[in-house]
């Protein structure tokens, strides 16, 4: 953390050497002829670190060997660290630092620099940086809980942590600031200045960025439904009622057209495979998206085979030829889909919020949008299926029958209006879980919040009794690198937890009890 703050001071000092004007070129030009970090460079650094595309091993530690596993999306056939690692609930500090440090060093340092450079000069860039800041930081706080947010960039050590509640309130404020500015700019008829810094498929389209901002606000609002239902409803309805609104079409999906790093991890290294949970649900549903997400097993041709997380791995070769990820699914990095937003609205409608439709129709539209996104067919027939359920899991690798288990859910696909709200929610979240693949961070957060979809428990638990095999990992402990550099700051964060600094302590929004 100390090096990080030194870096900010250096960046800010460079910026302060030059006066700012309202002209984009002037903002990025050093009149003395010396080199300066430009806005495109700063934004490029942000995009490439929300999901670390290169080197791939950093993404493997940033998300793949934590949230991607704990979400039930993927599993590893590799017995890292002697078979005692994140997959068996022994949280390895050297790995988990990558879920923290890159966000501060290569995203928040850059958004802080952009703010100092443009906040009172060219607010288009500041507004975009706020949207990206919230996109990055909600992943950090949903992984660790308390974190550095309001005190970032002060240059003073120790740096105090905000509670997760404080961070969420600040993120809602930052989203409102960004959305309001871009909306006013659109309504004024002025052209966008963002094309030169926007490397996403939006290419500087302010309307799409506003829709993303509202959709992100809706996502965060849903996260706090159990801990602060009044604020959740307010923020969710504000997003939908906004004059520009939320993402509704697949051509509004936010993504980067660069290969997803999990492709190399899957097909290059064979360190990640389809999960047993994915096999149980997608095979049980005869889901047409199965072949869009995964490849057939090399070991068992014509079959889709998943690996169960938290097992005793004797040899990597036993499962490395189970199903890997498809070429399509790893062809780009996706941050937000239209399908997810429809499922968010479906849950909101289930809770009695104004989401522009009834829960059933929004649920069904979410499924249809997911099918359309992946060019899957027969969505209508799929939605009419009232009998298919997740299937039992059989580990077909020789010598691994101990991993076999019955399905843990009997939820069907077709909407049933006489079901309880809890069953309806399980149906919505299960389909949202399918549609959000491969974003394991979002899936893990929603699983912790709702308990859905129901996932297979680990068999091998090496947490030393800290983490419950059935409840799973609730958060990651603060990394040792942060403890060493900002011990008093970490202590302030621990004081704002609901328990000890370990993987069993629930986050602020992760409360027990019914979803309704």
Chain segment 476-493, per-residue pLDDT in tens: 999 999 999 999 999 999
What contacts 24+ positions apart, CB below 8 Å, involve 61-65?
Answer: 61/95, 61/96, 61/97, 61/98, 61/99, 62/98, 62/99, 62/102, 63/99, 63/440, 63/441, 64/261, 64/262, 64/265, 64/272, 64/440, 65/95
Q: Which of 17, 187, 45, 7 is nearest to 129 (CA)?
A: 45
Q: What is the pLDDT at residue 36?
A: 66
Q: What is the pLDDT at residue 1?
A: 36
- Grouping H, G, I as helix, E, B as strand and the rest as coil, residue 258 is coil
Main-chain phi, psi angles of 307, to 5 degrees = -105, 140
pTM equals: 0.93
Distances (CA, A) of 46 to 40, 50, 109, 202, 485: 10, 6, 9, 15, 23
Cβ atoms 130, 175 nearer than 8 A: yes
- Is the pLDDT score of 446 beyond 60? yes
**CA atoms 73, 77, 79, 80: torsion sign:** negative
Across all residues in the chain, what is the average pLDDT? 92
Query: Which residue reads 């706080």 in tokens?
Result: 141
Distances (CA, A) of 511 to 188, 406, 449, 476, 505: 44, 28, 7, 17, 10
Confidence of residue 7 (pLDDT cuts 50, 70, 90): very low
Question: What angle is formed at CA 129 by the lines to CA 128 and CA 133, rounded to 5 degrees?
Answer: 120
Q: Which residues contact 335 (CB under 8 A, 6 or more apart)?
A: 50, 135, 200, 212, 254, 255, 256, 439
**Rounded mean pLDDT of 149-160?**
88
Main-chain phi, psi angles of 439, to 5 degrees = -80, 85
Provide the CB-side half-sphere exposure for 461 (13 A, CA). 17
- Grouping H, G, I as helix, E, B as strand and the rest as coil, residue 393 is strand
Q: What is the pLDDT at residue 153?
A: 84
**Rounded mean pLDDT of 212-234?**
98
């Amino acid at each position: 953390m100390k090096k990080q703050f030194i870096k900010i001071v250096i960046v800010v000092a460079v910026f302060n050497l030059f006066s700012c004007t309202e002209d984009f070129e002037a903002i990025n030009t050093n009149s003395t002829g010396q080199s300066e970090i430009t806005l495109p460079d700063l934004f490029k650094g942000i995009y490439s670190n929300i999901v670390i595309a290169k080197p791939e091993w950093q993404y493997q530690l940033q998300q793949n060997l934590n949230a991607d596993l704990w979400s039930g999306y993927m599993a590893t056939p590799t017995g890292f660290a002697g078979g005692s690692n994140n997959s068996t609930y022994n949280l390895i500090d050297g790995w988990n630092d990558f879920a923290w440090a890159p966000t501060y060093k290569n995203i928040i340092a850059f958004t802080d620099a952009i703010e100092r450079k443009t906040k009172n000069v060219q607010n288009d860039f500041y507004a975009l940086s706020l949207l990206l800041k919230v996109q990055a930081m909600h992943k950090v706080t949903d992984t660790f809980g308390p974190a550095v947010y309001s005190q970032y960039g002060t240059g003073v050590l120790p740096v105090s942590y905000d509670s997760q509640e404080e961070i969420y309130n600040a993120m809602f404020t930052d989203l409102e600031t960004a959305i309001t500015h871009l909306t006013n700019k659109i309504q004024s008829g002025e052209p966008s200045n963002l094309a030169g810094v926007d490397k996403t498929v939006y290419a500087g389209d302010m309307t799409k960025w506003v829709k993303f901002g509202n959709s992100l606000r809706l996502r965060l609002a849903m996260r706090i439904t159990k801990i602060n239902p009044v604020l959740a409803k307010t923020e969710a309805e504000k997003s939908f009622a906004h004059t520009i609104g939320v993402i509704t079409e697949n051509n509004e999906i936010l993504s980067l057209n660069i290969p997803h790093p999990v492709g190399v991890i899957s097909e290059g290294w064979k360190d990640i495979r389809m999960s047993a949970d994915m096999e149980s649900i997608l095979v049980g549903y005869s889901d047409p998206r199965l072949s869009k997400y995964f490849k057939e097993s090399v070991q068992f041709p014509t079959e889709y085979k998943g690996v169960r997380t938290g097992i005793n791995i004797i040899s990597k070769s036993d499962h490395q030829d189970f199903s890997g990820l498809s070429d399509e699914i790893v062809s780009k990095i996706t941050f937000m889909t239209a399908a997810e937003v429809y499922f968010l609205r479906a849950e909101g409608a289930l809770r009695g919020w104004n989401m522009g439709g009834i829960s059933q129709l929004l649920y069904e539209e979410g499924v249809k949008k997911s099918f359309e996104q992946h060019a899957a067919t027969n969505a209508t027939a799929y939605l009419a299926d009232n009998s298919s359920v997740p299937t039992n899991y059989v580990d077909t690798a020789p010598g691994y029958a101990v991993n076999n288990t019955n399905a843990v859910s009997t939820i069907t696909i077709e909407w049933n209006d006489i079901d309880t709200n809890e069953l309806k929610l399980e149906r919505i979240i299960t389909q949202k879980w399918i549609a959000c693949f491969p974003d394991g961070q979002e899936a893990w957060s929603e699983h912790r919040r709702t308990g859905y979809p129901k996932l297979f428990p680990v068999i091998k638990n090496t947490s030393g009794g800290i983490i419950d095999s059935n409840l799973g990992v609730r958060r990651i402990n603060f990394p040792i690198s942060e403890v060493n550099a900002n011990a008093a700051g970490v202590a302030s964060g621990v004081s704002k937890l609901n328990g000890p600094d370990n993987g069993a302590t629930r986050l602020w929004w992760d409360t027990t009890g019914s979803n309704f």
